[in-house]
Structure 1
Amino acid sequence: MMNYHEYTLKNNKITVKFLDLGGTLTHFSTSDDEKNCIIRFKELDSYEVNRGFLGANVGPLAGRTENALFEVAGQIYHLDQNVPPHHLHGGSLGLNKQRMKVDIISDTHAILTNTTDYTETGYPGSTTTTITYKLVDNSFTITYNVIPTKPMPINITNHSYFNLSQEDTAKGHDLQVPSNYVVAVSENGSNTDTFIPVSNTVFDLNQFNNVGNLLVQEHPQFKMTRHIDHTYLLSNDHEIVLRHLGTGKILRIHSSMPATQIYLANYFDGSLTNEHDKPILRNCGVAIEPQHIPNEINLWNKEIYDQSHPFHETITYTLTHI
């Protein structure tokens, strides 16, 4: 990975490492054992392509934008179809591909900035993105602030895959997501305007559910997604919890955003290699991606931002032992 650098933030409770390539996260651990709780590539060069978006900050539009287009103020914008026919996670020149200027404020605080002209991939204009990383005790907070030059939809999140055990799969984990509805996915894989009640379905994560138990359950939606890869509408209690009783580790995630994508890593096939020199397998971890509803610009014409109304959101990850 020519000319890219890895940075470390650390206090006496947690350690975080990231790249100036999009601010991609490469390491998140408790400081007492330093065992990485996110899936990481063995070689840093793999992050330049980053199949699977490991640890990536994704945008300007996270998720699938249906048919790679949207309309703002009566004008239709055609985006690049990096996953035909859709535009996925900001496209071929998305935030995860951009070099960030990194200012290390202290051992526990960094500010990353970038200005990118996204018109080449179909967006209305440029964005100036500021990402702040800050550690306080056992918590790691990401703050996103994005100012576009022209009105446009924005939806940014982090796409880390969490595995608290360093085992080959996340089957030994328990997951809890406070939500009564998930967004139905169409046959072409994009979000629709239909909400599925989670009650009495595999999607119900209001109480802790074992990931291994989830993976043996079926739903008609899985014809499109292989398993859970859905947007959950968060209820008033926005705390998402992932735990692994074997290691005693527990991850709590709070966000200012109204939804989260839950993805059980359904498409890994062992062709990529992790930091332990092992193949990255299907269901290797749990991607928990707090965000706005992907594709909502095409569903409800929502979440349009401009210079007077920038995108400003936070995600806080708290990693402890039970």
Structure 2
Amino acid sequence: MTHTQIIDHGLFQGQMLKEARLETAGLSLSLLNFGAVTRDLRYIASGADRPLILGYQNPADYLENPAYMGVIAGRLAGRTKGARFELDGKIIALDVNEGKNHLHGGGQGLSHVFWDLDLLDAATAQLTYTSPDGENGYPGAAKFTVTVRLEDNAVTYDMQAEVDQKTPISLAQHNYYNLAGGADTIWGHRLQMDADRVLMLDGTNVPSGDIESVAGGRFDFGAERSLLENDPSRLGMDHNLCFAIGRGNSMSVATVTAPDGLRMRVFSDQPGAQVYTAGGMAAQAGGLPGQQLGPFQGICIEPQGFPNAVNCPNFPDVLATPDRPYRQILRLEFDQT
């Protein structure tokens, strides 16, 4: 990436696949208009040029993208039990796309549609998409706007939705982070999280409604530890950790550090984050130069509302209304320790 620009990659499904490229003194980033994908994010401070996320070399590969690399997931990120929920006395049936459940907004969720993509300035791009009433089963129309901004060594995702009737919205930015470039697995990365509880899962990996303390277990990242130290059996994680109640949004909710000290701090206004260590990612060719794509090659930290909140009354609600639009701000800061 040499300068800010939008590049056309050809027609697919009757629409032009476009890529916006942004750059500051510390970071470079590229976005696709399909799936609102962050295709590439690089640390370029002090002459370095290091990939920070996993990605495909061929932009057209994101038209399939079974691992949801780099997408904005929604309308509801995560899994919804039985692909249904009740809203004001009416059963809402959603698209079934993982077993009997609904995952990441459905087969044609926000991660698998074309958005409008515009450059606002040299370091800012904006993606917009209007989801019609009934898309993937969701009630009401929703206009989504995602503004991505680079500032020195930080990137901010400002995710918003305006709706015309009550409907659930909970988005997640789905990068797979590997701060060492992506050639090796993430077991040597260290993780610290301001999270004191974990959502318990049923037999289909959907939150059951039960919440337990992480104290002393393999989901306890209160003190920084390597992923291997916390999970010596390499079971992997695909769990939603709940941020400590009463924390301030100015405090980081998670810190990921590469073996050589490159660090990412995550700031979020959401109640928790799904942490996924990519145990289910299929080994495949086609990654960015020097990267391996496969199990445990990246870690996703996805701030969001609690998955399956529409079926768990004890979870914070994820309902947006015309008078209460949706907004989430995610900020990532990078430095060398």
TM-score in same-fold range (> 0.5): yes
Q: Quick check: 2:163–2:322 contact (8 Å CA) kept in 1?
A: yes
How many Å separate the matches in 2 of 1:109 and 1:147?
A: 21
- Higher mean Cα deviation, 144-153 or 283-292? 144-153
Unaligned runs of 5+ in 1: 219-225
What is the CA distance between 1:207 and its match in structure 2? 0.9
**Quick check: 1:139 aligned with 2:154?**
yes
1:271 Cα shift? 3.1
Question: Number of paired residues?
Answer: 314
Q: Distance in 1 between matches of 2:306 and 2:36?
A: 22
Q: Tell me the amino acid that sits aligned with residue 318 of structure 2.
A: E
Q: Percent identity?
A: 25
The residue aligned with 2:17 is 4
Paired with 1:230 and 1:133, the residues of 2 have a C-alpha distance of: 26
> Does residue 251 in structure 1 map to residue 264 in structure 2?
yes
Q: 8 Å contact 1:55–1:161 — kept in the other structure?
A: yes
Q: Which residue identity lines up with residue 231 of structure 1 in the other structure?
A: N
Cα 1:135–1:279 change in 2 (3 A) is closer
The equivalent position to 2:62 in structure 1, one of 47, 52, 57, is: 47
- Tell me how far apart the structure 2 counterparts of residues 280 and 110 of structure 1 sit (CA, whole Å): 27
Deviations along 1:40-76, whole A, 9 cap, x unmatched? 0122111001111000100000000110001111111
Corresponding residue for residue 59 of structure 1: 74
Q: What SS does structure 1 have at the residue aligned with 2:215? A: coil
Per-residue deviation at 1:269?
A: 2.9
Match of 1:223 in 2: none
Residue 239 of structure 2 aligns with an amino acid whose one-letter code is H
| Equivalent runs, 1:181-260 vs 2, <5 Å | 181-217=197-233, 226-235=235-244, 236=247, 237-246=251-260, 248-260=261-273
Report how far residue 22 of structure 1 moved.
2.5
Secondary structure of 2:275's match?
Answer: strand
- Structure 2 distance, partners of 1:277, 1:201, is 34
Contact 1:56 1:159 in 2 (8 A): yes
Q: Is the 8 A contact 1:238 1:255 kept in 2?
A: yes
Task: Tell me how large the CA RMSD over aligned residues is.
Answer: 1.6
Paired residues of 1:42 and 1:277 also in contact (CA < 8 A): no
Normalising by structure 2, report the TM-score. 0.89
* Residue of structure 2 in register with 1:96 after alignment: 111
Tell me the TM-score normalized by structure 1: 0.93
Matches within 5 A, 1:247-286: 248-276=261-289, 279-286=292-299
Residue 278 of structure 1: CA displacement? 5.6
Q: Which moved more, 1:302-311 or 1:236-245?
A: 236-245
Cα deviation digits, residues 200-245 of structure 1 (max 9, x gap): 1111001111112233247xxxxxxx53111111111442100013
